[in-house]
Amino acid sequence: MKILTSALYESQLKEILSPLSQEDYKLKKDFKIYLDTIILNAPSKLKKYKKSIYFDNDNIIDIEYKACKIIILIDELNNACVVLGITVKS
């Protein structure tokens, strides 16, 4: 299964990582690596995740990691996972 990312996700991720780069480069790097690992492993663990609270679509899931929620579309027709966005809990 292919994994694709949306422009919105890339923009939101930069916004989340920006303050970390000023504070602690290692923390930023570790966060990004772990986030990438979660996303890469998502296709093999789809049954583990709940339907998204943001969309009324069974093919969109939310993955929670620390204070973040990653929103992923499962595109079975094209055999792909599309990372739509990432939110931070306030």
pLDDT for position 53: 92
- 48: which DSSP letter? G
Per-residue confidence (pLDDT) for residue 69, from 0 to 100: 93
pLDDT value of position 90: 62
Phi (first) and psi of residue 68, to 5 degrees: -115, 155
Q: What are phi and psi of 44, to 5 degrees?
A: -85, -10
pLDDT at 72: 95
Q: What per-residue confidence (pLDDT) applies to 21?
A: 66
Give the fold, CATH level 3, of 2-88.
YaeB-like fold (3.30.2310)
How far apart CA 12 and CA 86 sit, in angstroms, is 6
What are the beta bridge partners of residue 81? 3, 74
**DSSP summary character for residue 47:** G
Residue ranges for the chain with pLDDT beneath 50: none
